[in-house]
């Protein structure tokens, strides 16, 4: 959500720090569900959230927790805050559908 000044606030768990100390977040492609590590500039960390000064927009889908378990290009099934799917299951890539064969 946006803070008082209109700055985007993300949960602490959404921001990852690389070996170089730089901050990034996982942004989900809304069409394919693929993840992309996206560099961000953050402000001062709060007790539960951190302001993101640039790198992502309010309409971007960002992984809120568990980012340390993910990898670039990985396809995920995004859900909203009520754990409802955001993508049509039929839209999953064919490679993912064929894994059980």
* Domain of residue 59, CATH code: 2.40.420.20
Q: For residue range 18-41, list pLDDT tens digits in order.
A: 889 999 999 999 899 999 999 999
Q: Is residue 93 part of a domain?
A: no
| pLDDT score at 80 | 80
Q: Is residue 68 part of a domain?
A: yes
Q: For residue range 42-71, list pLDDT tens digits in order.
A: 999 999 999 999 999 999 999 998 888 999
Q: Is residue 72 part of a domain?
A: yes
Radius of gyration of the chain (CA): 15
Q: With 90 as the cut, is the pLDDT of residue 16 above it?
A: yes
Q: Is residue 36 part of a domain?
A: yes
Burial (0-12, 13-18, 19+ Cβ within 10 Å), 32:
middle
For residue 15, give its domain range.
Answer: 8-82
Q: With 70 as the cut, is the pLDDT of residue 92 above it?
A: no
User: In degrees, to the nearest 5, what angle opens at C-alpha 41 toward C-alphas 19 and 86?
Assistant: 90
**Domains identified in the chain, total number:** 1
Q: Is residue 49 part of a domain?
A: yes
pLDDT class for 88, splitting at 50, 70, 90?
Answer: low
Q: Is residue 99 part of a domain?
A: no
């Amino acid at each position: 959500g946006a803070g008082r000044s209109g700055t985007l606030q993300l949960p602490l768990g959404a921001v990852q720090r690389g070996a170089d100390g730089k901050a990034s977040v996982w942004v989900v492609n809304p069409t394919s569900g693929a993840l992309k590590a996206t560099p961000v500039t953050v402000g001062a960390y709060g007790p539960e959230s951190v302001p993101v000064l640039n790198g992502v927009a309010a309409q971007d889908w960002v992984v809120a927790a568990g980012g340390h378990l993910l990898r670039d290009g990985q396809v995920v099934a995004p859900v909203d805050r009520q754990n409802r799917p955001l993508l049509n299951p039929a839209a999953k890539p064919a490679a993912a559908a064929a894994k059980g064969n």
